[in-house]
A = this chain, B = another copy of it.
Amino acid sequence: LSTRKPRADAERNRARVVEAARALFAEHGAEVQMPDVARVAGVGVGTVYRHFPTRQDLVEAAAEHRFAEILEYARGLVGDDDGLAKYLRHVGEVLASDRGLSASIEAARQSAGSEPRGETRTLLEEVVGQLVAHGKAAGTVRKDCTVSDVYMIAGALSAIIRTNAGDWRRLLQIVLSGLSPS
Contact = CB atoms under 8 A, between A and B. Distances in A.
Interface of A: 106, 109-110, 148-149, 151-153, 155-156, 158-160, 163-167, 170-171, 173-179, 182
Nearest to A156: B156
Given A166-B152, A171-B153, A176 B178 contact: yes
Nearest to A164: B109
Q: Which 8 pairs of residues, A with B, have the shortest CB-CB distance?
A: A178-B178, A159-B159, A152-B166, A177-B178, A174-B178, A155-B165, A156-B156, A109-B163
A151 B166 contact: yes
Contacts of A163: 106, 109-110, 155, 159
